[in-house]
Amino acid sequence: MSTSRVDGQWFREEDSSWAGYSVSLKIEEILFQGKSDFQDILVFKSTSFGVVLVLNGIIQCTERDERTYQEMIAHLPLNSHPNPQKVLVIGGGDGGVVREALKYKSVSSVVLCEIDQKVIDVCRKFLPSMASCLDDERVTIHVGDGIAYVKDHPGEFDVIITDAPDPIGMAEGLYQKAFYQDMKNALKSDGIMCCQGETTWFDLPLIKRMLKDCRSIFPRVAYAVGNTPTYVGGQMGYMLCSSDPKAKLVQPLRQYSDAELIKMNMQYYSPEIHVASFVLPFFIKKNLQEV
Ligand code: SAM
C-alpha cells in the first residue's frame, strides 16, 4: 500500500511492498493534483528530473529518464519481430511507448488501450514530448479495460506491449495467467508480447510466478533488465514472450548503426543493450533458473 506524500518541498514515494526504502524528488512546482474515476493523479515539475507523472502515489515516468523504460519495453519486442505492422499498447496513456512503436516504418497501426482518459489528458498538457505522438494518423485511442480488449480481438496483432502500473487494483488482472493467455490469443501466430516485469530488488516472487505462467503459455520466453533511476530499485524488468518457437528474442533482428540510432532519437536502447539486457546478475539468474 502506498503511503507516498508531498513532504515540504519533496515528493516521497513509499509503499509497504518496499518498506524502509523511498524514492524522493525535489519539487519545483505542482502542475496538477486531482482524482480521476480510477486513481489519484499528481503531476509536478521536479528540480532534477523535469516533469513527473505520479499515479496512486507511484512514479510512472519523468521527462529525464522515461526513455530508458519506453525504449526498452517497445524495442525489445519490435526489434525481435521480422515485420511488425499492427501494434497494441495496453495502459501507456502517457504516449511514450506509442512514440517508440511509430519509429518503425513497417508499423501501419498502433492501438492504445488506456483505461483512464484523464491520464491521456494530463499527459497531452504537461508531457507533450511523450503524448503529442497520439495525434499521429496511425494511432487509434481506445479508452477502456485492456483485459476486456484483448479478449475481443483474437489473432489481430503482431506485437502487444503491456505498459502497466504495479499489480494493484484495476492493473492486477494485467499480471494474471488468464491475461497472458488472452494476449497470446490476440497475437498472430508469430506474434510477440512484452510486459512490464517489475524490479528484481523487491518483486522476485512475483517475477518468478510471471515467468512460470508465461512459460506455460508461450514457447519462447526471456527476461531482461534495464536501469531507470526513478523506479524503485533503480531498475525495471521486461518479460518478452513469442508465439513463434523459432524466435530468437535475445538477438535483435536489426543491427542499427550509431548514426541510425541518433536519427531515431534513441537514448538508451541499442542492439548491444538488447543483447546485454538478458545477461542477468547472478542472484537474479540463479533465482529465475529455479522456476
Ligand atoms: N511506465 C509505468 C510503470 O511501469 O510504472 C506505467 C505507465 S502508466 C501510463 C500505466 C497506465 O496503465 C496508467 O495510465 C493506467 O491508467 C493504465 N491502466 C491500468 N490498468 C489498466 C487496465 N486494466 N487497462 C488499461 N489500462 C490500464
Q: At 204, which amino acid appears?
A: L
Average pLDDT over residues 153-181: 94
Q: Which three cell numbers stand for residue 267?
A: 537514448
Q: Closest Cα to residue 149, out of 119, 179, 192, 188?
A: 179
The predicted model gives 145-171 an average pLDDT of 95
Do 88 and 186 contact (CB within 8 A), yes or no? yes
Whether 28 has a pLDDT exceeding 90, the answer reads yes
| Cβ atoms of 91 and 114 closer than 8 Å | yes
Q: What is the DSSP letter of 2?
A: B
Amino acid letter for position 104: Y
pLDDT of residue 108: 98
**Whole-model pTM over 0.90:** yes
- Confidence at residue 8, expressed as pLDDT on a 0 to 100 scale: 86
Tell me if 291 sits within 8 A of 211, measured CB to CB.
yes
Is 50's C-beta closer than 6 angstroms to any atom of ligand 1? no
pLDDT higher than threshold 80 for residue 291: no
Q: What is the mean pLDDT of residues 147-154?
A: 97
pLDDT of amino acid 262: 98
- Among 40-44, 57-61, 168-172, the least confident range: 168-172
Q: Is 249 in the pocket of ligand 1 (CB under 6 A)?
A: no
* Residue 247 amino acid letter: A
* Ligand 1 centroid – CA 93 distance (Å): 7
Residues 6+ away with beta carbon under 8 Å from 272: none
User: Given a cut of 90, is residue 169 above it in pLDDT?
Assistant: no
- The β-bridge relationship of strands 40-46 and 23-35 is antiparallel
Question: Does residue 75 have a pLDDT over 90?
Answer: yes
> Given this model, what pLDDT does residue 188 score?
98
Give the span between the Cα atoms of 228 and 88, in whole angstroms: 23
Instruction: Please give the C-alpha separations between residue 74 and each of 15, 33, 179, 250, in angstroms, as whole numbers.
Output: 27, 29, 19, 14
Confidence of residue 15 (pLDDT cuts 50, 70, 90): confident
Q: For ligand 1, say whether the CB of 92 is within 6 Å of any of its atoms.
A: yes
pLDDT at res. 241: 98
For residue 9, name the pLDDT band (cuts at 50, 70, 90): very high
Q: Which residues contact 55 (CB under 8 A, 6 or more apart)?
A: 39, 40, 41, 42, 119, 165
Task: Please report the pLDDT score of residue 7 as a whole number.
Answer: 85
ipTM of the shown complex: 0.98
* Catalytic status, residue 190: no
DSSP 208-259: HHHHHHHHHH-SEEEEEEEE-TTSGGGEEEEEEEES-TT--TTS-SS---HH
Q: Does ligand 1 have an atom closer than 6 angstroms to the CB of 210?
A: no
Instruction: Give percent of the chain with pLDDT exceeding 70.
Output: 100
Residues 100, 139 contacting (CB under 8 angstroms)? no
Give the whole-angstrom CA distance, residue 260 versus residue 232. Answer: 32
Reading the block at residue 280, the C-alpha cell is: 542477468
Atom 2 of ligand 1, residue of closest alpha carbon:
60
pLDDT in tens, 76-133: 999 999 999 999 999 999 999 999 999 999 999 999 999 999 999 999 999 999 999 9
Q: Residue whose CA is closest, atom 14 of ligand 1?
A: 93
pLDDT at res. 281: 92
199: alpha, beta or left? (left if phi > 0; alpha if psi -120 to 50):
beta
Q: What is the pLDDT of residue 289?
A: 83
**Confidence band for 290, pLDDT divided at 50, 70 and 90:** confident
pLDDT in tens, 172-191: 999 999 999 999 999 999 99
3-state SS class at 43: strand
